Structure 1
Amino acid sequence: MNILLKSVTIVNGNTKHLHLRKRDILIKNGIIDAIESAIEPSGKTKVIDIKNLHVSIGWFDSGVNFGEPGYEERETIENGLLTAAKSGFTDVVLNTSSHPTPDSASDIVYLKNASKNQLTNLYPLGNLTVKGEGEVLAEIYDMKNAGALGFYDYKAPMGNANLLKIALQYAQNFEGMVFSFPLDKSISGKGIVNEGITSTKLGLKGIPTLAEELQIARDLFVLEYTGGKLFIPTVSSANSVKLIADAKKKGLQVFCSVAVHNLTITDSELENFDTQFKVMPPLRTSADIKALQKAVKNGTIDLVTTDHTPLNIELKHVEFDNADFGTIGLESAFGTLNDIFGVEETIGILTKGRSIFGLDEPEIETGKAANLTLFTTEDTFEFSDEHIYSSSKNAIALGKTMKGKVIGSIRNNQIILNK
């Protein structure tokens, strides 16, 4: 397959001689063949010529959820990867939220086989403990050899500090990444939203930021004792950022992410009891958002994730107390971030992080495999059902103003464009 991108603006801070330059890019059989001021198509070539078209290396998401296996009605792996490709993501890390959860090498092999021949590459995580129950360490070495990028009991806090210690010590033998969800359940109790003015006003049980910060403080003490690599997913408070920043200054190998919605939406949105806004960790305050955005800019927060979580309608269209936590986010990530950070910073956010997991970084250079995302930057629109590609429609971004549109993705000698 030959593809010619006409007059595209290249956004790639790592390639200074091409950054923000308009070029034609010719791709032959999945390889970038030429980057020139002007290239004329020849033979059977698919020409893409769109006003305000931009290109960057393909985007990376460190934490998505699909339903398969077990919850295919929410999202299959095939449609989840198609959704990712249409949303600009050419590499995604899959959380351990399926049923059964992946806690053996054969489970990891199944997930990798189920994702073959897709444009977007899928990298599965494996459970840290058997069945994600936090009691017995899973076969993490075998899963690493089978292709697991790290080990995570998805959104299940590790209550046993000694087990976390053992996991960090053991994983060092093979450069394994240990995930620990930041929540102390003895503090959070039955809370479902941020503890504060809004929770008090609405009569909803609150989760104080203390529940997150205590767990992070404990985990960082364990990490300082053991060494190893610790990943803290989806932090949400200003004090969490301070704790992690101090740990990084000590030289600890600690990494963290934040969900897009925790960067943009406050708990004041809960006043209509709309279950689309019920997420974990909960939406916090404007002060937390300000601190989180600053931490993304200065690098304290390593990654921004969509935390894409498809849920079928009956899990959301119930009373607020009974609704499940989670929102889809792949489709709205670019438009949301672009509105906050601007184009260059947004692309930096969406393309960083592969090296943390030992994955190769794509390049926009002749002779390199084409791993590209296509997008525009000037379109402004209201996010609605028509912009959702997921099987599930539980989108926190519905009704929000987006800036910039994803046109599609190119990878693995495939191209997927949005109509």
Structure 2
Amino acid sequence: MNILIKSATIIDSRSEFHNSKQDILIENGVLSKIGQHLENPNNYREIELENLHISQGWFDSSVCFGEPGFEERETIVNGLNTAAASGFTAVAMQANTQPVIDSNAAITFVNSKAANHAVTLLPVGALTVNSMGEDLAELFDMKSAGSVAFYDYKKSVSNPNLLKIALQYASNFDGLVCSFPQDDKIAGHGVMNENMTSTTLGLKGNPTLAEELQIARDLFLLEYTGGKLHIPTISSAKSVELIRKAKQKKLNVSCSVAIHNLYFTDAALIDFNTHFKVLPPLRTQDDIDALIEGIKDGTIDMVTSDHNPMDIEHKKIEFDYAAYGTIGLESAFGALQTCFSTQKTIAILTQGKSRFGLKETPINIGNAVDITLFNPDKKYTFSTQNIRSKSKNAIFENESLKGTVYGIISNNNIELNQF
């Protein structure tokens, strides 16, 4: 693959060309030259786009693609195409399929479906057999096949001894154990944040206490085992504080937050729109402020779209019975840019790679090309026309967002959107 990119502003704090406008010559998938006014004697394909910016390829630590078993929601190939169109060069795929991804063979199947794509798929294996929370899955075998972490997606590990054993066992091969932060007995049948809004709407509440109790328990277990823990999609101010103190104690813990939990409060549920039914639920403005502060001070390690396609049969029903989840890859960049500066947004989108075993590739001469191309300034209203996923359950539908993606160049492949 040989390409000449013209007049691109480089946003990459690890690059010597950070914050400068350069031409970039790519030869055989490698950044061979970076400089101003580069010539093109070999007549390579040229890319010159309006207000073009590039950065290291973006990473999402939690996406769901459905396949195998739920192909009506999404397939691996279309999911990866959606990720590419949204600017992501690597995504960690969750195990909530049918059958559940809980074995070496299942990891191998997923990797085979994603072979030779521009987007690198990082499979997350289930923590327990069939994600039932009873017996540990084949963690070492899955790690050997390419699993980057172990997580029963959106399912709590109710048995503390099971999590203790998982942390101890996985530490033998540097395995990353994930624990969903919710005490199910406290959460009960709650479908939204427990406060005045849930009372007004007559919906059962899921209090932040359910999240915070589980996190406190998991951190005590981590301190005992000395393992490696990731807490996905936290949502409350107290959760941020608990993890901040754990990091001050040098515990090996990381965490993430979903983009929609930085953007919407529980007041968005006033019309009972099931697009806003997510887990953890949307919280309050005070929680959002604390989460944003946690991102700024490094307590929160990464932000995820928590992309979870869901077919209309599971969404267009009564709120109490609707499935949790929203798609988020397509809106991730534009939504983050309404909360942060472009520089901070790019830093967020390129964080977390090493935690999931992915090597970073700064935009420097001699490195393999792994870049995202984008225009940070274009404003638009997110609509169904912006959705590439098979499912259309988009929490950001009709929201005013900022910044569009041109495409990616990665794995010796180029994927550009049509404009």
In structure 1, the partner of 2:311 is 312
In the alignment, is the contact (CA less than 8 A) between 1:150 and 1:176 conserved in 2? yes
In structure 2, the partner of 1:380 is 379
* CA–CA distance in structure 2, aligned partners of residues 296 and 344 of structure 1: 13
Counting only pairs closer than 5 Å after superposition, residues 7-406 of structure 1 correspond to structure 2 as 7-15=7-15, 17-406=16-405
Amino acid at match of 2:114: S
In structure 2, the partner of 1:2 is 2
Amino acid at match of 2:289: K
* CA–CA distance in structure 1, aligned partners of residues 327 and 357 of structure 2: 26
In the alignment, is the contact (CA less than 8 A) between 2:14 and 2:363 conserved in 1? no
Amino acid at match of 2:201: L
**Cα offset for 1:96?**
1.1
In the alignment, is the contact (CA less than 8 A) between 2:66 and 2:74 conserved in 1? yes
In the alignment, is the contact (CA less than 8 A) between 2:56 and 2:363 conserved in 1? yes
**Cα offset for 1:356?**
1.2
In the alignment, is the contact (CA less than 8 A) between 2:233 and 2:255 conserved in 1? yes
SS at 2:257 equivalent:
strand
SS at 1:252 equivalent:
coil
In the alignment, is the contact (CA less than 8 A) between 2:17 and 2:364 conserved in 1? no
Question: What TM-score does the superposition give when structure 1 sets the normalisation length?
Answer: 0.99
Give CA-to-partner distance per residue, 1:336-359, whole Å, 9 cap, x none.
Answer: 111211100000000011111222
* CA–CA distance in structure 2, aligned partners of residues 302 and 273 of structure 1: 32
Give CA-to-partner distance per residue, 1:63-97, whole Å, 9 cap, x none.
Answer: 10001000011111000000001100001001111
In the alignment, is the contact (CA less than 8 A) between 2:82 and 2:329 conserved in 1? yes
SS at 2:339 equivalent:
helix
**Cα offset for 1:28?**
1.4
Question: What TM-score does the superposition give when structure 2 sets the normalisation length?
Answer: 0.99
In the alignment, is the contact (CA less than 8 A) between 1:104 and 1:142 conserved in 2? yes
Amino acid at match of 1:5: I
In the alignment, is the contact (CA less than 8 A) between 1:9 and 1:54 conserved in 2? yes
* CA–CA distance in structure 2, aligned partners of residues 368 and 13 of structure 1: 15
SS at 1:171 equivalent:
helix
**Cα offset for 1:418?**
1.1
* CA–CA distance in structure 2, aligned partners of residues 358 and 119 of structure 1: 18
Q: How many residues align?
A: 418
Q: Percent identity?
A: 56
Give CA-to-partner distance per residue, 1:175-202, whole Å, 9 cap, x none.
Answer: 1111100000110000110001111000
Give CA-to-partner distance per residue, 1:120-165, whole Å, 9 cap, x none.
Answer: 0001011111000110111101111111001101111000000111
Runs of 4+ in 1 over 4 A off after TM superposition: none
Give CA-to-partner distance per residue, 1:377-406, whole Å, 9 cap, x none.
Answer: 111110011111111111000011111111
* CA–CA distance in structure 2, aligned partners of residues 139 and 51 of structure 1: 49
| Contiguous gaps of at least 5 residues in structure 2 | none
* CA–CA distance in structure 2, aligned partners of residues 68 and 44 of structure 1: 41
**Cα offset for 1:44?**
4.1
